[in-house]
Structure 1
Amino acid sequence: MTGIVIREAHFPGRAPIEAYGNGGFRFADMSHRGSILCLPSGIYGWEPANPDTLGVDDFARLIDEAADIQILLVGSGPMLKPIAPDLRALLKEHGISADPMSTGAAVRTYNVLLAEDRAVAAALVAVE
């Protein structure tokens, strides 16, 4: 008999975000505590090194799927925070347009673009 197996948080599909707040998100009739990365391959639990200053290393998984992404919405918490110049340059190099905004605005915009079947991804920092 084995002990509890902790698996990486991953929902294998695209789904609109039903709710956010209280430190997490609801989607596909499930909930996740913490930040999330919404990619073409699914929704992943995401732990940026420092949510206040997102860096290149926080987006390695996204870059792996860059060919399927045209727009990245960066929900930086309760307030808009600019994207670091080196991160913006990396995204541009991969043909991805990055739009920083508050997490609430990013969730709403993601849901609209997802409904339009656009090549969108979202990096969403959890808010209380």
Structure 2
Amino acid sequence: MAKGIIIREAHFPGKAPIEAYGNGGFRFADMSHRGSLLVLPSGIHGWEPADPLALKAADFDKLFAEAGNVEILLVGMGKDLRPLPAPLRVALNEAGISADPMSTGAAVRTYNVLLAEDRAVAAALIAVD
């Protein structure tokens, strides 16, 4: 039996503020992650939507599984603010989640404030360089 590298899905079990962002990734809980993040009440997950410019409901399956624990979703859209696609906004509304798109930097700052206030917040953060 050959030994090799086991690649696991990136996941941090728990809540943590985002300490830094940029250079294509994020720092949190004394760790770093290259790529985008989906930050949920159950933990922080590596997240790579197929097309960050065309987000769809399927990109948020883990969020919808925890919909009862999330009131606010902050969506860091990269360097610039972009609106959420209408079908995604409808799916989030039907799940009782208020979505607020903004730049990734603004989403990180807002997430940290709401987390410190113990609010029911989640964040989908597209990595920026």
Class of the TM-score when normalised by the shorter of the 2 chains: over 0.9
Where 1:61 maps in the other structure, the secondary structure is helix
The whole-number CA distance in structure 2 between the counterparts of 1:51 and 1:93 is 22
Q: TM-score, normalised by structure 2?
A: 0.97
Q: TM-score, normalised by structure 1?
A: 0.98
The whole-number CA distance in structure 2 between the counterparts of 1:97 and 1:33 is 27
The whole-number CA distance in structure 2 between the counterparts of 1:14 and 1:80 is 25
The whole-number CA distance in structure 2 between the counterparts of 1:2 and 1:96 is 44
**Aligned CA-pair RMSD:** 0.7
Matches within 5 A, 1:117-128: 117-128=118-129
Structure 1 residue 53 corresponds to structure 2 residue 54: yes
Structure 1 residue 26 corresponds to structure 2 residue 46: no
- Which residue number corresponds to residue 90 of structure 1? 91
Structure 2: tracts of 5 or more residues without a match: none
| Worse-matched range after superposition: 99-108 or 46-55 | 46-55
Aligned residues: 128
The list of structure 1 runs, each at least 4 consecutive aligned residues, that deviate by more than 6 angstroms after superposition, is none
Structure 1: tracts of 5 or more residues without a match: none
